[in-house]
Structure 1
């Protein structure tokens, strides 16, 4: 019987070990299930927020489409106007480039050509005066072009520029000059 008692004791010990191990596995599985439940709840919450954001975006987009359709219906030639406005900007930019190219030779005169040296004779200085005047006129033309192109003029400056153009006989970039 001694052998039988030993077998029973060994079986009881093995059962306790297995039950203990089963309890640990069940505890670990319960913890994993709990973690997964928390993660699933967070993902459901995130999915709900994303759906709400998509609905808000789609609604705003639909309103924008409706507003645009209403605007296009109110202004039937809007696409043509938009195209023309874009073309005007391109042509204006091209005009500015051409005006800069036209004025580039007068603007880029070397400074040494305009100012006589200290050792130059009185005759050379007198002959340099017309050159200085032409350089000054070129600078005024360049400044007028910049002023006229930017359109950043006060009310008084607008009239002064037109008066200057009228006096000098130049074509004014601001508009027609009445004589």
Structure 2
């Protein structure tokens, strides 16, 4: 397993060992002891899986503190652009976005710390997306940022006329108007 640092503090790319042969592949997607030895000490309490079709854009979602969530995200099938925005006011990268392609083929994971908005767009016909959370879902603390806020400069790699976005996500505010407490 390899840990790759990003330009944003605490936002990590994880490259698990992937063993491929004529039968397919095997990879260990999570091992608490191994992650702890690499200083990834989140205590994950909830696992989620979503299935989406090409063009779907989900996000950008987060929960206010004290219900904020760190997430360990990965793609089980297909390919996405995964995007985050740093909402930590005391961070040198406050308001900065980061995106990465996650796919079944590359097997990469992204460790998203608390204090980030998170979302993804589906580039393949179908995607199965999995993520671990270190805090439970809390509806009252749920917030979001408008996915296409031009100030965030996120390239979702989906043509505007092909984007499929939920009504709820279309109502999220721009970054400058959003509520966050990190």
User: What is the TM-score when the length of structure 1 is the normalising length?
Assistant: 0.18
Structure ranking higher in helix proportion = 1
User: What is the TM-score when the length of structure 2 is the normalising length?
Assistant: 0.18
**Largest Rg, 1 or 2:** 1
| Bigger relative CO (Cα 8 Å, ≥ 6 apart) | 2
